[in-house]
Amino acid sequence: MSFLSGLFGGSPSEPQEPSASAELFGSTTFRSNVTPSSSDPSSSSTAQHSSAPTTPAPTALDTFGTAFDPARLHPLAGLGDKIDFLQLDEEKLNDIQGAASVLPSRGWTDDLCVGTGTTYLSGLVLGGTWGLKEGATRPLGNNPSFKLRLNSILNGCTRRGSFMGNSLGVLAIFYNLANSSFDAIRGKHDAANAMAAAALSGAIYKSTAGVRPALVGAGLMTAAAGSWSAFKNFV
Amino acid sequence: MSHGDHSRDPCPYVILNDFGGAFSMGAIGGGIWHGIKGARNSPRGERFVGSMSAIKARAPVLGGNFGVWGGLFSTFDCAVKGYRQKEDPWNAIISGFLTGGSLALRAGPRSAFGSAVGCGILLGVFEGVGVLMNRMFAQPIPQMQLPEQAAAPSAPAVSAA
């Protein structure tokens, strides 16, 4: 036995590490010194040694030379092909205190879009139901045809639905803008914030009708926001 | 990236986001547009009132039109993605076709088909421009440094010795 076998532990049953990471890290440093030993004077020992199972483990060179494979690059973490979770930090989530919601939010634009979208869609559904009821019960003379009735229903839906959706959507834009501004100013999100934003948005929404309707609108919106906050706390 | 972009929500929820985004865009943009238009069309002294009434009358409607278009498009986009199980420009073109068609449905099948084709072509142009921009502005992938090159500074020292 030469010094080579001493270096490798000498036993032919060299413990093959099952972990790919150990293989990757271990083989890179050792193999480069060992392989050119065919020109050694002690060729007999190398011939004896080559019978040992030294299958060429993947080295760093192999990793860089072949096509990009994230699973091979970082086998320790078991990433598979889900490597773009590493890039989550690009889009930081909203970490303002108390602003956690059903959907993760990435700041005020996300809040605005999702809030307005939800409100608009529910307004559309509500108004559509209203219009459906209206269109279905509108008197159309005696014995109206199906086509007339369908037209009446569709007219009702598109009329009431878009009215309700648009109104609620605009209200939601005001509310979300005010809410995000208050959040940013105060640095946290709570029920008082929501109620203040609701009061402001209700007042703006009804501002052209006069002072009294504006105050009424503000009061109604504040009550709605307060009960919504209480409901969220309760759940 | 292999899994789409993380700047948007996963599919069913992105519809709400798109709905709201399109509605806000339409309503705020419509507010600015009709505010200026209403002020210009009003007689002197009535400009603010005219601007306000124009905004109140028209901005929500424009927002609603935008919102319905965007939300319907997003819904169809999600449906098409779910059905085809891939993400490519054809998704947008197909969903643009469907959106245009369903928005013009009440005007009869002929008109709906025309509108659908128009919307599909428009979205096709958008996607084509997007692909071209991507190609034009794509950075070439930097060559990864090989280990020998990293270890190169030690080599001259060995040869000198």
DSSP string, A113-166: HHHHHHHHHHHHHHHHHHHHHHHHHS--SSS--HHHHHHHHHHHHHHHHHHHHH
Flag whether residue B143 sits within 8 Å of chain A, measured between CB atoms.
no
| Domain-embedded: residue A64 | no
Using a pLDDT cut of 90, give the percent of chain B over it: 28
Searching chain A, which residue's CA lies closest to the CA of residue B31? A170
Does residue B69 share a domain with residue B29?
yes
The torsion angles phi and psi of A97, rounded to 5 degrees, stand at: -70, 130
pLDDT digit of tens for each residue in chain A (235 aa)? 444 444 444 444 444 445 555 454 544 444 444 444 444 444 444 444 545 556 666 666 665 555 555 555 555 555 555 555 444 444 555 555 555 555 666 677 888 888 888 899 999 999 999 999 998 888 887 777 888 888 899 999 988 998 999 999 999 999 988 888 888 888 777 778 888 888 888 888 888 888 888 888 889 888 888 888 888 878 7
| DSSP summary character for residue A58 | -
CA distances from B124 to B19, B77, B105 (A): 21, 14, 21
| Domain-embedded: residue A221 | yes
| Domain-embedded: residue B23 | yes
Does residue A193 share a domain with residue A165?
no
Query: Domain range holding A207?
Result: 188-234
Residue with tokens 């054809």: B90
- CA B98 from chain centre, in angstroms, equals 16
| Domain-embedded: residue A126 | yes
Closest residue by Cα to residue A220 from A199, A200, A192, A193: A199
Q: How many CB atoms lie within 10 A of CB B157?
A: 8
pLDDT for res A64: 58
pLDDT for res B148: 67
pLDDT for res B116: 92
| Domain-embedded: residue B145 | no
pLDDT for res B22: 92
Q: Name the minimum distance, in Å, from the CA of A157 to any CA of chain B.
A: 13
Task: Check A116 against B147: CB less than 8 A apart.
Answer: no
CA distance A101 to A93: 11
| Domain-embedded: residue B143 | no
pLDDT, greater one: B150 or B13: B13
HSE, side-chain direction, 13 A CA sphere, residue B69: 19
Searching chain B, which residue's CA lies closest to the CA of residue A169? B23
Task: Check A61 against B147: CB less than 8 A apart.
Answer: yes
- The answer to whether B138 and B130 have CB atoms below 8 angstroms apart is no
Query: Domain range holding B119?
Result: 88-137
Does residue B124 share a domain with residue B102?
yes
Q: Please, is B75 exposed, middle or buried when counting C-beta atoms within 10 Å of its C-beta (0-12, 13-18, 19+)?
A: buried
Flag whether residue B72 sits within 8 Å of chain A, measured between CB atoms.
no
pLDDT grade for B97, boundaries at 50, 70 and 90: very high
pLDDT for res A59: 63
CA distance A225 to B159: 78
Task: Check A162 against B64: CB less than 8 A apart.
Answer: yes
Mean pLDDT of all residues in chain B? 83
| Domain-embedded: residue B28 | yes
Last residue of a domain, one of B87, B105, B122: B87
Quote the crossing angle between the two packed helices A108-137 and A146-186, to the nearest 10°: 160
| Domain-embedded: residue B158 | no
- What would the two tokens of residue A110 be? 């996300």
The torsion angles phi and psi of A188, rounded to 5 degrees, stand at: -150, 170
**How many domains is chain A partitioned into structurally?**
2
Does residue B98 share a domain with residue B76?
no
Flag whether residue B3 sits within 8 Å of chain A, measured between CB atoms.
yes
pLDDT for res A127: 93
CA distance A103 to A94: 11
Does residue B80 share a domain with residue B14?
yes
Does residue B93 share a domain with residue B80?
no
Q: Name the minimum distance, in Å, from the CA of A13 to any CA of chain B.
A: 31
| Domain-embedded: residue A179 | no
| Domain-embedded: residue A136 | yes
Task: Check B23 against A208: CB less than 8 A apart.
Answer: no
| DSSP summary character for residue A97 | B
Closest residue by Cα to residue A113 from A188, A194, A180: A180
CA distance B135 to B151: 35
CA distance A97 to A189: 6
pLDDT for res A43: 44
- The answer to whether A120 and A165 have CB atoms below 8 angstroms apart is yes
ipTM above 0.85, yes or no: no
- CA B15 from chain centre, in angstroms, equals 12
Searching chain A, which residue's CA lies closest to the CA of residue B16? A117
Does residue B77 share a domain with residue B117?
no
- What would the two tokens of residue B19 be? 């709905």
Mutate to test the interface with A, among B17, B28, B52 (most CBs of A within 10 A): B17
Task: Give the type of residue at B71.
Answer: G
| Domain-embedded: residue B156 | no
**How many domains is chain B partitioned into structurally?**
2
Flag whether residue B61 sits within 8 Å of chain A, measured between CB atoms.
yes
Does residue B76 share a domain with residue B117?
no
| Domain-embedded: residue A22 | no
Question: Which of A83, A90, A114 lies nearest to residue B16, judging by beta carbons?
Answer: A114
- CA A62 from chain centre, in angstroms, equals 35
Closest residue by Cα to residue A44 from A5, A96, A98, A84: A5
- What would the two tokens of residue A21 be? 């990471």
pLDDT, greater one: B90 or A34: B90
| Domain-embedded: residue B77 | yes
| Domain-embedded: residue A204 | yes
- Tell me the Ramachandran region of residue B108: left when phi exceeds 0, alpha when psi lies from -120 to 50, beta otherwise: left
Does residue B94 share a domain with residue B83?
no
| Domain-embedded: residue A227 | yes
Region B5-9 average pLDDT = 64
B67 interaction partners in chain A (CB closer than 8 Å): 117, 120, 165, 169
Task: Convert the pLDDT of each residue in B19-64 to its tens digit.
Answer: 889 999 999 999 999 999 999 888 888 888 889 888 888 899 999 9
Question: Which of A64, A81, A120 lies nearest to residue B67, judging by beta carbons?
Answer: A120
pLDDT for res A108: 79
Does residue B77 share a domain with residue B19?
yes
Q: How many CB atoms lie within 10 A of CB A189?
A: 21
